[in-house]
Chain A
Amino acid sequence: MQHVIVGASAAGMAAAEAIRKRDPTADIIMLSDEAHPPYYRPLIPYLIYQGKTGDELLREPRLTPANLDLRLKARVTRLDPAKHSLTLADGSSLAYDCLLLATGASPILPNIEGLDGSDVFTLRTWEDALGIAKAAKAAKSALVLGAGRIGMKSAFALRHLGLNVTVVELIDRIVPQQLDAESAAIFSEAVAKAGIETILGHTIKQVNRRGKKVTSVILDDGRELKADFVVIGVGVVANLDLAMAGGLRVARGLQVDKHLCTSDPHIFAAGDVVETRDIVSGDAIVSGIWTNAVTMGQIAGDNMAGGNSTYAGAFSLLNAMELGGLPVISVGEVHRTTGADIEVFAERHGSNYRKLVFRGDRLIGLILVGQIERAGVYQTLIREKANVSTLRRELLGSRFHYGHYILLQPKKIDRYVMAG
């Protein structure tokens, strides 16, 4: 049995581990179009200010499955499902019995005058981070478009190097997917304290250059801001080229069934390339979230090796991060504040913030800022669609713990509970 995995990040690697777990002898070939061995992609902002060495980003030696035939700089150009064959950029072909497309996503480059050319960066790969690091060396000021996670991580990394950093965001708050107005206000203080300027409710309409060099940008209100280079962090789009070349069914992402199998029974998909269902709302989504990608990889890999695992769907929002020394965890439908049976509880004390969104007897959304302890218990209640009507009082308090849940379910407690 020859398994081929296209993509060597969260989903691809989780799938390889899952295949290996079920089948110790199957051939697993993993293709990566990058030059670096598999690494932890979320750590690349550290490369900008050398907060970590390259070695510290690598998955080796611990977390790679045994006997993995890893091929770097291997870009796949064609997929022929009828012949079970891939064509690589060097012209060679590779046969598969079972294929996983974990091709991920690529940063979106908005249509802005003067954007094409040097001194404009996105942050998705190791090489991208090194490019930004190099540009930062000769620069005094940087402009970041987009105040999402990538934008803010870039901004903090560049600020770390002493650059003047301005972040421009179209929506009226920072990290808009993950934060609501109240929590964004808390983080805005931390961002300002770090010396990062934010311009909210605006975008840039033009990038000015002298020769090839970027010199400034023009905002949509006509303001001109000096900048030696620009980092774009406005989101990603699924890498569907290969899936489309193979005639697989795609929409916004690569379409899969509950086993993460595509429209071809020998081809599975996992990670940022997949279009799946939101576990809370049921809406079709393309998730760009690490944790979802890992889960999808585990399930797709298990099924490729003969298992029968089903995927319940992804969280549109499932993010933890620390920004400016302040932690936040956001899960589920945190922005739904109106509608049938919707109840919102929100409470702020200084830089601690708790927001819980309920729909009827279910918890569907959570934001915790500052005090984030035991967030996983809430996350599990959301994921499992648990009836929390008897837990309402405890959930609203900051001391909610797993004991509140398990002690309500005497049937689940054996005389001895295996606990550790």
Chain B
Amino acid sequence: MKRIFVNPDRCTACKTCEIACAIEHSQAKSIFVSPSEMPHPMNRVFVEASDGHKIPIFCRHCDEAPCVAACISGAMFRDPQTEAVMCDTSRCIGCWTCVMVCPYGVVGRQLELGKAVKCDLCPERESPACVVSCPTKALLYEEVEGFSKNKRREFASAVAAGG
């Protein structure tokens, strides 16, 4: 099971991940064409800042996902293969219960469609668009099982050495 990991120290709040995410979830998948699409391409990652600190905020695909539990229409579900939390927009009715229960505030609203929008870990890609795009390597896409404390240190030094 692979998930996205963040090293907040490396984030410069350039928002490249936000743009890459929106483009990846558009029809044309082109930075020139996609911005004028309807419905508007939306990002699922949000780079936030507070007191000079920066952090990209993602869906964590929680083990006990409140959005899946609370969904009143069966739209939010856990993909049996990847264990990612996904939104089946054909079932979404835009009641926004998921927006109300997500502790991280990462379920968005596609207003033109009236549907919930969230991170799907880019199922068509080997590595999510945000991770690939990050110019400072603040984002990593790794197996959770292998990402123990020791591994984290290795990654930290590898990243620090420009790896």
* Interface of A toward B, CB cutoff 8 Å: 14, 40-43, 46, 56, 59, 62-63, 290-291, 294-295, 298, 318-322, 327, 329, 331, 372-377, 379-380, 394, 401-404, 406-408, 413-420
Instruction: Please judge, given known A-B contacts A63-B74, A417-B5, whether A401 and B57 are in contact too, CB under 8 Å.
Output: yes
* Interface of B toward A, CB cutoff 8 Å: 3-9, 45-46, 48-51, 53, 55-61, 64, 66, 69-70, 72-74, 77, 91, 93-109, 114, 119, 121, 128, 140, 144, 147, 152-153, 155-156
Nearest chain A CB to B15 CB, angstrom units: 13
Residues of B near A290 (CB, < 8 A) are 70, 72, 97
When the two chains form their complex, are residues B103 and A376 in contact, meaning their CB atoms are under 8 A apart? Answer: yes
When the two chains form their complex, are residues B100 and A43 in contact, meaning their CB atoms are under 8 A apart? Answer: no
When the two chains form their complex, are residues A59 and B74 in contact, meaning their CB atoms are under 8 A apart? Answer: yes
When the two chains form their complex, are residues A377 and B103 in contact, meaning their CB atoms are under 8 A apart? Answer: yes
Instruction: Please judge, given known A-B contacts A404-B48, A417-B5, whether A376 and B55 are in contact too, CB under 8 Å.
Output: no
A384 to B7, CA, bound (A): 26
**In the complex, which residue of chain A has the Cβ closest to the Cβ of B88?**
A62
Interface centre among B94, B105, B107 (most CB of A within 10 A): B105
Residues of A near B64 (CB, < 8 A) are 298
Instruction: Please judge, given known A-B contacts A63-B77, A295-B69, whether A407 and B53 are in contact too, CB under 8 Å.
Output: yes
A298 to B8, CA, bound (A): 34
Instruction: Please judge, given known A-B contacts A419-B6, A420-B58, whether A373 and B50 are in contact too, CB under 8 Å.
Output: no
Instruction: Please judge, given known A-B contacts A394-B50, A419-B60, A420-B59, whether A402 and B104 are in contact too, CB under 8 Å.
Output: yes
When the two chains form their complex, are residues B77 and A62 in contact, meaning their CB atoms are under 8 A apart? Answer: yes
Nearest chain A CB to B111 CB, angstrom units: 10
A62 to B64, CA, bound (A): 17
A294 to B56, CA, bound (A): 30
When the two chains form their complex, are residues A329 and B99 in contact, meaning their CB atoms are under 8 A apart? Answer: yes
13 contacts between A and B (CB under 8 A): A290-B72, A327-B94, A329-B96, A373-B105, A377-B102, A394-B50, A402-B105, A403-B50, A415-B9, A417-B5, A417-B6, A419-B6, A419-B57
Residues of B near A408 (CB, < 8 A) are 50
Nearest chain A CB to B55 CB, angstrom units: 5
Residues of B near A374 (CB, < 8 A) are 99, 105
Residues of A near B51 (CB, < 8 A) are 407
Q: Among B72, B121, B153, B156, point to the contact of A43 (Cβ < 8 A).
A: B72
Residues of B near A59 (CB, < 8 A) are 74
A327 to B144, CA, bound (A): 37
Nearest chain A CB to B56 CB, angstrom units: 7
When the two chains form their complex, are residues A416 and B91 in contact, meaning their CB atoms are under 8 A apart? Answer: no
Instruction: Please judge, given known A-B contacts A63-B74, A394-B50, A404-B50, whether A416 and B156 are in contact too, CB under 8 Å.
Output: yes
9 shortest interchain CB distances as A-B pairs: A374-B105, A403-B48, A420-B4, A420-B58, A376-B102, A419-B58, A380-B103, A42-B72, A320-B100
When the two chains form their complex, are residues A418 and B73 in contact, meaning their CB atoms are under 8 A apart? Answer: no
User: With A43-B93, A295-B69 given, can you name 13 additional A-B contacts, CB distance below 8 Å?
Assistant: A319-B100, A322-B114, A327-B94, A327-B109, A372-B96, A372-B100, A379-B101, A402-B103, A403-B49, A417-B5, A417-B8, A419-B58, A420-B59
Instruction: Please judge, given known A-B contacts A320-B95, A407-B55, whether A415 and B7 are in contact too, CB under 8 Å.
Output: yes
When the two chains form their complex, are residues B7 and A42 in contact, meaning their CB atoms are under 8 A apart? Answer: no
Q: Among B7, B48, B98, point to the contact of A401 (Cβ < 8 A).
A: B48
A418 to B8, CA, bound (A): 11
Instruction: Please judge, given known A-B contacts A14-B69, A291-B97, whether A416 and B152 are in contact too, CB under 8 Å.
Output: yes
Residues of A near B107 (CB, < 8 A) are 376
A402 to B56, CA, bound (A): 10
A415 to B55, CA, bound (A): 12
Interface centre among B57, B61, B94 (most CB of A within 10 A): B57
When the two chains form their complex, are residues A418 and B147 in contact, meaning their CB atoms are under 8 A apart? Answer: yes
When the two chains form their complex, are residues A418 and B60 in contact, meaning their CB atoms are under 8 A apart? Answer: yes
Residues of A near B101 (CB, < 8 A) are 291, 376, 379
Residues of B near A372 (CB, < 8 A) are 96, 99-100, 109
A318 to B101, CA, bound (A): 9
Residues of A near B91 (CB, < 8 A) are 56
A42 to B92, CA, bound (A): 12
A413 to B55, CA, bound (A): 10
Residues of A near B156 (CB, < 8 A) are 415-416
A320 to B56, CA, bound (A): 26
Instruction: Please judge, given known A-B contacts A62-B77, A419-B5, A419-B60, whether A401 and B99 are in contact too, CB under 8 Å.
Output: no
